[in-house]
Structure 1
Amino acid sequence: MRQIFLDTETTGLSPDAGDRVVELACVEMDGRRLTGQHRHYYLNPERKNGEEAVRIHGLTDAFLADKPKFAEVADDFLAFVAGAELIIHNAAFDMGFLNAELKRLGRPPLSQTVAAVTDSLQMARETYPGKANSLDALCRRLEVDNSSRTFHGALLDCELLAEVYIRMTRGQHSLVIDEAQADASTVQKTVQTLDALDLRSVVLPVIEPDPIEAQAHEMALKELDKSSGGLALWRNLSHNRSLS
């Protein structure tokens, strides 16, 4: 299924109070790979921005004055996201604003156009309970470079979210190779090479600890014995082996 990372910037916090979308971005991923396809719109909200909103996203009324209205980009936007899974950080916020924009045009809710909506904020809360799970916090935790994020920008935030999502759901540290990504001939050659190896003559070296290392190890074992109340099983196993 196509997945599309979506983000908006708005004039304020409440679509019910008349706040509008001023920026909308979508970044496409297919087969867990970014395709390079995206949509990015700056929008004339037909009303003034809130001061706090401008402080966050930096999009002034003067900048937005000559930009298209949502009605002018709605068809292109809906065609791009049709049938895809949307991945949105704090999905209720963005979906609330987009549904309000669609309602003004007499269009059905966005959920009737897309296949599914996944809230990456909820995913993060389940993965990292009790921790900060804002996009910035996730970037720091998952080592995603967000140094260029001076303001909240919808397109940049979509790109960051895509990288965070990949790392949060599998990441760069996984040893699992997707069948779609694996080269069959390379895998076959690797298996044949491993089968041809005779490891019976291989002798693994045993490196004995020096006196200082042995003493440090013994002290660590004593600390474990103490903290476990004498329940360290390896001591009993070692003693039983010496008696047999």
Structure 2
Amino acid sequence: MICWFPMTELQQVLVVLDVETTGLKPEDGHEIIEVAAQKIQGREVISEYISLVATNRIIDAATEKVHGISNALLAVEGRPGSEVFPELVKFIGQAPIVGHNINFDLGFINAHLKRLGMPLLQNQPVDTLSQARRYLLMPSYSLEKVAAYLKVPQPLAHRAKADVETTREVFWKLIERAKNGKT
């Protein structure tokens, strides 16, 4: 179940997460090629985890155009998923996970964990997409559109760390709107 936090729980540690992938469906063999996560408490970033993930899958030109991650970059800087995903799980711990369309990210992560024979993440998801739909009246709810609507600065879109930073700020803007009853 995707939850939304009451204001009294906002001082607990949360993890804001984003992944970049080779496509949209892990069941079709698409894979995570970049992951970023920030541990936050209140508005403070406590720590972060960022890694490119090596893949044997060829990244097509259209996908590379979206996030700028190439096969050449992954060949040099990508790390094996067998290293990245255990580190990521340890980093996340039991914290609730915040993301924009978080079920997409968790679906990919859990597909990788399953392939590695690891337990699936059971953390409480907090979805900024569903909350944007609840509190904002817009024609599109992509992270970029929601951020622009809320006047959140957007660094390099479609890279995991930049999207985590944008999602984190969108999260706080949506919390403020919920608190003030604004739409």
Q: Taking structure 1 as the reference length, what is the TM-score of the superposition?
A: 0.65
1:91 aligns with 2:102: yes
**Counterpart secondary structure, 1:100:** helix
Q: Does 1:105 align with 2:111?
A: no
Equivalences for residues 124-143 of structure 1 within 5 A: 124-143=132-151
* Structure 1, unpaired ranges of 5+: 175-244
8 Å CA contact 1:13–1:19 kept in 2: the answer is yes
Q: Does 1:55 align with 2:61?
A: no
Structure 2: runs of 5+ lacking an equivalent: 1-11
Q: Which of the numbers 149, 158, 169 marks the counterpart of 1:163?
A: 169
User: Equivalent residue for 2:14?
Assistant: 3
SS of equivalent to 1:143:
coil
Q: Distance in 1 between matches of 2:47 and 2:106?
A: 21
Select which of 74, 82, 86 maps to 1:71.
Answer: 82
Q: Tell me: higher relative CO, structure 1 or 2? Use CA pairs within 8 A at least 6 residues apart.
A: 2
- Using the TM superposition, give the Cα deviation of residue 130 of structure 1 relative to its aligned residue in structure 2, in angstroms: 4.7
Of 116, 119, 125, the match for 2:127: 119
* SS state at 2:129 partner: helix
Tell which structure's C-alpha radius of gyration is larger: 1
Asked if residue 154 in structure 1 is aligned to residue 160 in structure 2, the reply is: yes
Q: How many correspondences in the alignment?
A: 167
After TM superposition, which residue ranges in structure 1, 4 or more long, deviate above 3 angstroms? none
Deviations 1:132-177 (A, max 9, x none): 221111221111111x32x411001101111111111016x97xxx
Q: Is 1:37 aligned to 2:37, yes or no?
A: no
The alignment partner of 2:30 has SS state of coil
Q: CA–CA distance in 2 between the matches of 1:4 and 1:145?
A: 20
Aligned mates of 1:80, 1:106 — CA distance in 2: 18
TM superposition shift of 1:12? 1.0
Alpha-carbon RMSD across the aligned residues, in angstroms, is 1.7
> Is the partner of 1:46 in helix, strand or coil?
coil
